Structure 1
Amino acid sequence: MVKSRVKKAGLDPNDFSAHALRAGYLTEAARKGISLPEAMQQSGHKSIQQAARYYNDSERRSGLAARLID
């Protein structure tokens, strides 16, 4: 469904996937301080371990330790 909608919008469907949208949603939710359970309700993730990986990636990129190397 994602690829067909992207194609209708005149964009390259190879640049988009349902996985990327779900992963991006969780990453942005983590950055905005939305709780993991609340974000999982929207994203449809059933595995806490999988969803938490996106939260951990977000923290690693924007946390205090990451700011030390800026």
Structure 2
Amino acid sequence: AALAGIEPGKVSAHGLRSGYLTEAARQGVSLPEAMAQSQHRSVQQAARYYDEAGRRTGRAVRL
């Protein structure tokens, strides 16, 4: 974290993995492909990040 200029303690492995899935969803990466990269084994858990990304980028957000 320090090498990247991020304050230690402000980043976690969980945050990196969940952030990756959220951004993958926003970029249109398929769930299985993103899960392979993030090494998530639970479709239900990974799908939660995809659902969350959809709520943040869906048409209702743009109103």
Give, in angstroms, the shift of residue 65 of structure 1: 1.7
Q: Deviations over 1:11-50 (max 9, x none)?
A: 4221010000000100010011000000000001000011
Structure with greater helix percent: 1
Query: TM-score if structure 2 supplies the norm length?
Result: 0.89
Query: TM-score if structure 1 supplies the norm length?
Result: 0.81
Of the three residues 60, 63, 70, the one matched with 2:58 is 63
Q: Which has the higher contact order (CA 8 A, sep 6+)?
A: 2
Once superposed, which parts of structure 1, at least 4 consecutive aligned residues long, lie more than 3 Å away?
none
Bigger Rg over Cα: 1
> Percentage identity across aligned positions?
63
Cα root mean square deviation, aligned? 1.2
Give, in angstroms, the shift of residue 66 of structure 1: 1.6
